[in-house]
Amino acid sequence: MQIHQIRNATVKITYAGKTFLVDPWLLPKEAMPGFAGAFHSEVRQPRVELPLPVAEIVKADAVILTHVHPDHWDEMAANHIQKQIPFFVQSQTDKTIIEKYGFTNVCILSETGTLFEGITLYKTPCQHGRKEIVKPMCEKMGMPYDAMGIVFKNSAEKTLYVAGDTIWCEEVKHTLDTYKPQVVLINACGASLLVGNGERLIMHKQDIEDLASYIPQAQIIASHMDTVSHLTVTRQDIRSLGLSNVHVPEDNEVLSF
C-alpha cells in the first residue's frame, strides 16, 4: 500500500495494485476566496500550488469523492479526469452532481461493501463538525453537510481506513472497532467556523491525540494540511505533539505500508 499526499485532502492511494485518486481539488494557488463565516475568510485558497502537473495527478484506475464541498472537488478536476473512469461517491445527490459533469461510470458506495477489482470498499459515516451545530448551518447555506469515509479491504493488504472530513466521534470509534484498520488516514487541519469558540469541521489536535491513544497499534497519517483558508492546525503543530504512530507527510511525499 502506498499513500501519495498530493495537496489538502487530495491523495493517490495505491492498494492491491490499483490506484485511487481521492478528493481531487486541482485549482491553482489562490484561485478561490476563503469561506465566509469561517476562520481567515480573507485568505485566498488553496494556499499553495499543486506539487505535480495536473495531467500526472489524474492518472488513476478510479476516483473516490468523499463529498462535493469546493475544497475537495472543482471544475479543474472535472475537466481533466477521464469521463469513463470508475467514480465512487457517497449518495444519489453526489452521483447526480458528478454525472452532470459528463462522468458515465459513477457508483454509490455501500455500507455493506462495494467490490472493485478484488478490493472491497466500505462506506463509513462521518460527523463533518458536530452534527447538531453544523448541519443546520449547512442547510441554511444550501450546502450539503454529509461526507463519508472509506475502508479498503483486500487479503493481500493491511486494512486502510480513510476517515474523511470528520471530527473524533462515536461514528469513527465504531468504524475503528468494526474494521480494526492497521492504517488510518485522517483530515486534520482543524478547519473551523467562527460560531461558538470556533466550531471545528475536521480533526484538531485534541482529536488527533484521542485517536492516537484509542488505536496505538495503528499507523495514522495526517492529511488535509496547510492548504485551506480556515485551518487552525498546521503540520508543525501535529509534529510537536510527539505521537510516535502519527505521520505528517509533506505535499508530494509517498508513504508505504
Residue 71 sits in a domain whose CATH number is 3.60.15.10
pLDDT digits over 24-79, tens only?
A: 999 999 999 999 889 999 999 999 999 999 999 999 999 999 999 999 999 999 99
Which residue range is the domain that position 14 belongs to? 2-250
pLDDT for 216 beyond 80: yes
Would you say residue 255 lies in a domain? no
Interval 146-169: pLDDT, tens: 999 999 999 999 999 999 999 999
158 inside domain: yes
* C-alpha to C-alpha distance for 170 and 130, rounded to whole angstroms: 11
| Coarse DSSP helix, strand, coil percentages of the chain, rounded to the nearest 5 percent | 20, 25, 55
The whole-angstrom separation of Cα 244 and Cα 159 is: 20
Instruction: Write out the three cell numbers for 139.
Output: 442547510
Per the domain annotation, does 121 fall within a domain? yes
Secondary structure class of 126 (helix, strand, coil): coil
- Can the peptide bond before residue 46 be classed as cis, meaning omega within 30 degrees of 0? yes
What is the mean pLDDT of the segment spanning 219-229? 98
Question: Using CA atoms, how far apart are residues 65 and 92, in angstroms rounded to an integer?
Answer: 13
- Burial class of residue 156, CB neighbours in 10 A (0-12, 13-18, 19+): exposed
Rounded Cα gap, residues 66 and 156, in angstroms: 25
Q: Is 191 within the bounds of a domain? A: yes
Sign of the C-alpha dihedral computed for residues 181, 183, 185 and 190 taken in this order? positive
What is the distance between the alpha carbons of residues 59 and 215, in angstroms, rounded to a whole number?
A: 33
Task: Say if residue 201's pLDDT is above 90.
Answer: yes
Query: How confident is residue 144, by pLDDT bands cut at 50, 70 and 90?
Result: confident
- Identify whether 61 is part of a domain: yes
* Best CA proximity match to 65, nearest among 99, 16, 113: 99
Report long-range pairs for 120-123 (Cβ below 8 Å, ≥24 apart).
120/152, 120/153, 120/154, 121/64, 121/88, 121/150, 121/151, 121/152, 122/150, 122/151, 122/153, 122/179, 123/90, 123/148, 123/149, 123/150
Residue 141 has pLDDT above 80, yes or no: no
pLDDT for 196 equals 78
Query: Which residues lie closer than 8 Å to 50 by C-beta, 6 or more apart?
Result: 6, 7, 26, 28, 57
> Can you give the pTM of this predicted structure?
0.97
Predicted local confidence at residue 120, as pLDDT: 98
139 occurs within a structural domain: yes
* Residue 172 scores a pLDDT above 80: yes
pLDDT tens, residue by residue, 72-120: 999 999 999 999 999 999 999 999 999 999 999 999 999 999 999 999 9
Are 23 and 165 spatial neighbours (Cβ–Cβ below 8 Å)? Answer: no
Q: How many domains does the chain have?
A: 1
Instruction: Give 135-143's long-range contacts (Cβ < 8 A, gap of 24+).
Output: 137/37, 137/193, 137/195, 143/69
Mean pLDDT across the chain:
97
**Is 256 part of a structural domain of the chain?**
no
Q: Please give the pLDDT value at position 195.
A: 87
In a domain, 99, yes or no: yes
What is the percentage of the chain residues whose pLDDT exceeds 90?
93
